[in-house]
């Protein structure tokens, strides 16, 4: 009971309620929150400290940046969710907060898109500066070969490299990316490789325009560190997985190379096993033992997660055999 009273006392102040509402919509830094609220950084920091102590917000540091988000595992987390649900988005103050939040998210997206646009032609070269991709690709091919999928989705396909190395092992492969420049290069690469079973499509990794349970395998290769909401990306990937399907996440272990954020638009400086485990569990996936590929200075981690298999009824099996997969064959021209 005491923890609930502490949380209620902490949030019973207009600015702190606004902070809880904002942090429920993504991971935000102090500077971003001060920009939205129009208040001084010391004042906002004091409010954030009280909310974290009450268990309503989580705080985590990445290099020189500190992020805040709605609490996930504390006793007050359920209260935080109820408070956010009770906030009226039509309220003038909340509406202005959300408008400013949207502007900040657009700025983030513009920075990432500009980076991809400027570096699309040399993406392979830039990536090779951080880790030897041949070793990573060999490990990925082994995982996919063992899973033996029919349909494969590559989220954030970029230049289409994952489609190039994996398409020959599946019946159909689809790559999704938000950058038209990247997709243009991917199409050229796939055509050169003669991969007629692979296609690419403009899409949003947070809201895939694909049916539930439509893929046997989903790959997210060196994309998650650009994500504003990595948990949401994993949840959406899990949604399109069939029972028994496999999700393969490839990204960096935690590091302190700030230049990757400053010069290459990395939103996150790597991920811990514990947070990836939590995100996968929340998405209904079971994470296997991660595979580490140490590099200098970065370490690549391959996390493999599975959706539990369920016994299909004869009727469901018959429907799957008869239903066309037209959505996989549609390619953005």
The kind and range of the H/E element at 151 are strand 151-155
Confidence class for position 324, pLDDT limits 50, 70, 90: very low
pLDDT at 332: 36
The kind and range of the H/E element at 182 are helix 180-193
CATH C-level class of 124-329: alpha beta
Confidence class for position 303, pLDDT limits 50, 70, 90: very high
The 10s digit of each residue's pLDDT in 195-233 is 989 999 989 999 999 999 999 999 999 999 999 999 999
Determine the 3-state secondary structure of 3 from DSSP.
Answer: helix
**CA 80 from centroid of its chain's CA atoms:** 23
The 10s digit of each residue's pLDDT in 45-71 is 999 999 999 999 988 776 677 889 888
Task: Map out the domains of the chain as residue ranges.
Answer: 2-87, 124-329
Peptide bond into 209 cis (omega under 30): no
Whether 28 contacts 67, CB under 8 Å: yes
| 283 dihedral zone (left: phi>0; alpha: psi -120 to 50; beta) | alpha
The 10s digit of each residue's pLDDT in 237-279 is 999 999 999 999 999 999 988 888 888 888 999 999 999 999 9
pLDDT at 1: 75
Strands 172-177 and 198-202, bridge-based pairing: parallel
Cβ neighbours of 305 (radius 10 Å): 26
pLDDT at 275: 95
Q: How far apart are CA 222 and CA 219, in angstroms?
A: 10
pTM: 0.70
Whether the predicted pLDDT of 315 surpasses 60: no
Closest C-alpha among 97, 107, 73 to residue 20 = 97
Q: How far apart are CA 75 and CA 55, in angstroms?
A: 7
Q: How far apart are CA 236 and CA 224, in angstroms?
A: 13
The 10s digit of each residue's pLDDT in 8-52 is 888 899 999 999 999 988 878 899 999 999 999 999 999 999 999
The 10s digit of each residue's pLDDT in 284-299 is 999 999 999 998 788 9
Mean residue pLDDT across the chain:
86
Q: How far apart are CA 208 and CA 216, in angstroms?
A: 15
The kind and range of the H/E element at 202 are strand 198-202
pLDDT at 333: 35
Q: How far apart are CA 117 and CA 115, in angstroms?
A: 5
CATH number of 2-87: 1.10.10.10
90-95-101 Cα angle (round to 5): 150
pLDDT at 314: 40
Whether 293 contacts 95, CB under 8 Å: no
The 10s digit of each residue's pLDDT in 119-160 is 666 555 556 556 678 899 999 999 999 999 999 999 999 889
> How many helices (H) and strands (E) are present in the chain, helices listed first?
15, 11
């Amino acid at each position: 009971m005491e923890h609930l009273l502490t949380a209620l006392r902490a949030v019973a102040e207009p600015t702190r309620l606004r902070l809880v509402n904002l942090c429920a919509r993504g991971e935000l830094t102090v500077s971003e929150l001060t920009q939205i609220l129009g208040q001084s950084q010391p004042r906002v920091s004091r409010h954030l400290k009280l909310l974290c102590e009450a268990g309503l917000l989580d705080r985590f540091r990445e290099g020189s940046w500190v992020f805040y988000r709605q609490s996930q595992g504390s006793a007050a987390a359920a209260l935080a969710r109820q408070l956010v649900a009770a906030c009226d988005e039509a309220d003038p103050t909340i509406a202005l907060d959300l408008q400013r939040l949207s502007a900040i998210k657009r700025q983030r997206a513009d920075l990432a898109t500009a980076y991809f646009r400027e570096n699309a032609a040399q993406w392979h070269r830039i990536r090779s500066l951080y880790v030897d991709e041949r070793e990573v690709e060999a490990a990925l091919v082994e995982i996919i070969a063992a899973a033996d999928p029919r349909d494969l989705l590559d989220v954030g396909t970029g230049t289409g490299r994952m489609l190039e190395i994996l398409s020959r092992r599946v019946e159909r492969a689809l790559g999704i990316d938000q950058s038209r420049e990247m997709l243009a290069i991917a199409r050229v690469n796939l055509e050169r490789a003669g991969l007629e079973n692979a296609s690419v499509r403009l899409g949003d990794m947070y809201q895939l325009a694909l049916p539930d349970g439509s893929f046997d395998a989903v790959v997210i290769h060196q994309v998650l560190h650009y994500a504003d909401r990595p948990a949401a990306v994993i949840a959406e990937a899990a949604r399109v997985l069939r029972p028994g399907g496999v999700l393969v996440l490839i990204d960096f272990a935690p590091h302190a190379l700030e230049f990757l954020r400053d010069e290459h638009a990395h939103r996150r400086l790597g991920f811990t096993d514990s947070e990836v485990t939590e995100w996968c569990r929340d998405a209904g996936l079971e994470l296997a033992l991660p595979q580490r590929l140490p590099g200098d200075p970065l370490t690549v981690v391959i996390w493999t997660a599975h959706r539990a298999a369920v016994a299909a009824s004869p009727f469901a099996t018959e429907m799957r055999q008869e239903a066309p997969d037209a959505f996989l064959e549609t390619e953005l021209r």
